[in-house]
Structure 1
């Protein structure tokens, strides 16, 4: 009995450094952010006063924040619809047996391997009206085409979502492809014997069997979209105006540009709560999928 307790103490001593690192890098920052969110902390003006829930109230009264929330919702929904539709379609294509299949899969994955900041900076030039590759391609079919993509709000939204899809859809597709590998070919052969066509086979066999994989992947990719920062930082800097400032970008701006850390902390806490709720609902939904 004494020996087992001694071994348990030794085990905890070995684990303790890792626990302390986790506490000071994860748990403590969360609690400190929550505490600071109740204070008006502005390093520029030397203010540090308790304001209660005023920072949280200001979130829904700040026009810039409302704009950030609007674009974040558009970005997350638009991006995830694109990920699911394009990702599943690309995964099905990559699952077809063909010559050079492994090489094709490697090439498809290359955009995901590139840093987002590099892609965003390159995209900033690509969407330029005068010498960007996007307008240059369109002018092959419409010589008189002129559009400053990143100057107008709606087209800037489309450009940011398109770049996000270009980078991450291949990774989403590869993960879906991993699920496709577990579907037995016998099921497809049986469906073919029964007279089912490619479309029927996809909707009756393929899609139901990978639906849980897609749902779980969508959970994680949605969380990543909600915390996206680098694409806006490098591509649009929140412009035009404040129309492409994602919530994560707004937090960074308030904390490190305006040095309004109390307000930034309150935004971060609200985002954390939203992510926790969405994650819980998504995991609950994943348990209800029977496939």
Structure 2
């Protein structure tokens, strides 16, 4: 390596140094420390003590943890199909090149970049038992006893999922819209000449040609569905009686309410393992339905 080449490499590394330091201090060190904490019992103000796999065994044996995992799966079952279907429908409707499409793209994307607190305040009013827009509509349609959406153990989690789907659908719409705009319009013209109707074009041309984008959106939605926190915290606080507590919120409760740092770290690594497993399963089945 010549001297000029060595100098160029040295200068490049010098410019990378601040980023590498920040990455190490604020990402890599916390990841390693959290993994070590997951094998400890540490109530933040006490001296940590090594307990091995006790935290993980307690999580697997605890009925509360089991309920939280089921809540997370139930939230995922609503959120993932919701954002993909709504995002895809909006993307198809706006993939027309009209001048007004730009306005509607911005309008549908706006909830995603809006303040979560502002969004939750609006939805709290919509879900309000006595004065909410939704229950007043139900009364108008003849429902005599509308439900208490946020106070009902059965409906609280679906309410959180509905708000999350509404807020995030615009983001997934843009991802799918980008995939739609890569399709050559001559493919549709040939299909029309062969007599294919719109619905058949959608299922036999559009879906296969954007299957790569759908796969990417699926992975993103699965990961995001396990990380919901802000909306749960602001809308229901995990209630009533833990009915809307998902895994990310449960980690927060154990870490920053009960100060069980070791237990929370073990939960975080189980969450990480679950996300990794889901991703691997999806990559395994990817070849069966994703068209390159």
TM-score by length of 1: 0.93
Partner of 1:272: 272
Whether the 8 Å CA contact 1:126–1:132 is kept in 2: the answer is: yes
Structure 1 residues 30 and 195: alpha-carbon distance in aligned structure 2, compared to 1, 3 A threshold: same
Inter-partner Cα distance in structure 1 for 2:12 and 2:101: 48
Say whether residues 1:104 and 2:86 are aligned partners: no
Whether the 8 Å CA contact 2:209–2:291 is kept in 1: the answer is: no
Structure 1 residues 152 and 290: alpha-carbon distance in aligned structure 2, compared to 1, 3 A threshold: same
Say whether residues 1:54 and 2:50 are aligned partners: no
- How far has the Cα of 1:98 moved from its partner? 4.6
Partner of 1:68: 68
Inter-partner Cα distance in structure 1 for 2:109 and 2:15: 40
Inter-partner Cα distance in structure 1 for 2:150 and 2:22: 42
Question: 1:263-284 CA deviation, whole Å, 9 max, x = no partner?
Answer: 0011011111222232344345
Say whether residues 1:209 and 2:209 are aligned partners: yes
Whether the 8 Å CA contact 2:232–2:249 is kept in 1: the answer is: yes
- SS of corresponding position for 1:203: helix
Inter-partner Cα distance in structure 1 for 2:13 and 2:220: 32
Inter-partner Cα distance in structure 1 for 2:138 and 2:97: 33
Say whether residues 1:116 and 2:116 are aligned partners: yes
Say whether residues 1:42 and 2:43 are aligned partners: yes
Say whether residues 1:243 and 2:229 are aligned partners: no
Inter-partner Cα distance in structure 2 for 1:287 and 1:105: 31
Say whether residues 1:5 and 2:10 are aligned partners: no
Inter-partner Cα distance in structure 1 for 2:227 and 2:26: 18
- How far has the Cα of 1:218 moved from its partner? 1.4
Partner of 2:29: 28
Inter-partner Cα distance in structure 2 for 1:102 and 1:205: 24
Partner of 1:175: 175
Alignment of 1:117-266 (within 5 A): 117-142=117-142, 144-266=144-266
- SS of corresponding position for 2:96: coil
Whether the 8 Å CA contact 1:238–1:245 is kept in 2: the answer is: yes
Structure 1 residues 13 and 284: alpha-carbon distance in aligned structure 2, compared to 1, 3 A threshold: farther
Inter-partner Cα distance in structure 1 for 2:178 and 2:10: 42
Partner of 2:18: 17
Q: Which moved more, 1:277-286 or 1:179-188?
A: 277-286
Structure 1 residues 136 and 230: alpha-carbon distance in aligned structure 2, compared to 1, 3 A threshold: same
Give the number of aligned pairs.
Answer: 290
Structure 1 residues 21 and 131: alpha-carbon distance in aligned structure 2, compared to 1, 3 A threshold: same
- SS of corresponding position for 2:49: strand
Question: 1:51-93 CA deviation, whole Å, 9 max, x = no partner?
Answer: 1000001111222211111111111121111112222112111
Whether the 8 Å CA contact 2:41–2:49 is kept in 1: the answer is: yes
- How far has the Cα of 1:152 moved from its partner? 1.6
Inter-partner Cα distance in structure 2 for 1:281 and 1:115: 34
- How far has the Cα of 1:242 moved from its partner? 0.7
- How far has the Cα of 1:100 moved from its partner? 2.0
